[in-house]
Copies of this chain bind each other. A is one copy, B any other.
Amino acid sequence: MDRDPEFEMASGWRGPSADPHDEQLGDNIEPTTPDSADTYDAVLVGEPYDGAVIGSPGAREGPAAIRDALAGVKTHHFDAGPIRAIGDLGTVDIPTGASVSDVQAAVRAATETVHEQETIPIFLGGDNSLTYPNAGPLLDREETVGVVSLDAHLDCRAVRGEPSSGAPYRQLWEAGLDEMAVLGARHFETSTVYAEYLREQGGEVVTAEEVGDDPVEATDRALAAVETDHLYVSVDIDVLDATAAPGVSAPTPGGITTRELFRLVRLLASVDRLAGFEVVETAPPLCPDGRTADAAARTVAHVLSVLGGEPA
């Protein structure tokens, strides 16, 4: 099996259980290559980069920590049954010390290959600037493309010089994005000019407060605003409340619970037109007890239980 030069092989897929009856997610992950990726309903892609973070960094260690936590998770969802085999493309090779735009370009070279396959890529970030190369290749398609972004922030900052992790959706809108909804946004975390910018583009904002009132209705509202042919779903783990995800560059209160996040991603992953998924901004050095990576890993597991769950 030849490996793609842009990827380093993932290793260490092995949960800590000693009980031979246990089936852990690590047991069902199979290393694969872009060429064979379509054998799987979904493939994992690691992106260890945080050079575009404005606040406290650390997200570069996210993919390793999420993989560690994911390896030990059991495959069983009580309603959907066990998660089937999943492919793993390894880790995108990030050029060391390069500028943000050069990193975005290098990552995009890898993600383009991935999006060509008939499978759902699940990107493990890394900071939010990776959303641009992760979702960008979809914009080259002829059909319409939309994003549902679960984030405390709108991330539509104007780019001055190099792009930052607060700007990926500005970059995507400028590259031709058709529709977008932000789910779980917090008041007082985005400036008025950027809130207005997003509304002018036709973007929808569903607040964390509204998710708390009725998670299903909130998701419906987001999906109603993004009726595009292809749907990309992004989870900035800071959409979680500061108590649930302290390991992000700027934890904020008033956020959603892990229980709500898991429900939201299951609802979103069930949408037919899903073309890609990512979880970004998990910064393990900022979270001594590991709860942020634990939450990120189970977010991925809930998505996999829809994409790669036991067929009915």
Contact = CB atoms under 8 A, between A and B. Distances in A.
Interface string A221-257: 0000000000000000000011110100001111101
B242 A294 contact: yes
B291 A253 contact: yes
A8 to B, nearest CB: 9
A253 B298 contact: yes
Give the most central of A95, A101, A191, A193: most B CB within 10 Å.
A191
Interface size class of A (residues with CB under 8 A): 35 or more
Nearest to A157: B19
Give the most central of A24, A189, A242: most B CB within 10 Å.
A242
B187 A305 contact: yes
A253 B242 contact: no
A195 B22 CA distance: 11
A73 interface: yes
B291 A21 contact: no
25 contacts: A12-B12, A19-B158, A19-B191, A21-B193, A50-B57, A52-B97, A56-B58, A57-B57, A57-B58, A74-B188, A74-B192, A75-B191, A76-B192, A82-B192, A97-B163, A97-B164, A98-B99, A187-B301, A188-B298, A209-B263, A242-B295, A243-B291, A253-B295, A255-B259, A285-B285
A262 B258 contact: no
B285 A288 contact: no
A189 B22 CA distance: 10
- Integer count of this chain's copies in the complex: 6
Nearest to A299: B253
Contact of A192 (B23, B161, B163, B263): B23
A51 interface: yes
Contacts of A164: 96-97
A95 B192 contact: no
Interface string A70-86: 00011111110110000
Given A97-B99, A187-B305, A253-B294, 18 more contacts: A57-B60, A57-B285, A74-B191, A75-B188, A75-B192, A76-B188, A76-B190, A76-B191, A77-B187, A78-B205, A99-B102, A188-B301, A241-B257, A242-B295, A251-B289, A254-B262, A255-B259, A288-B289
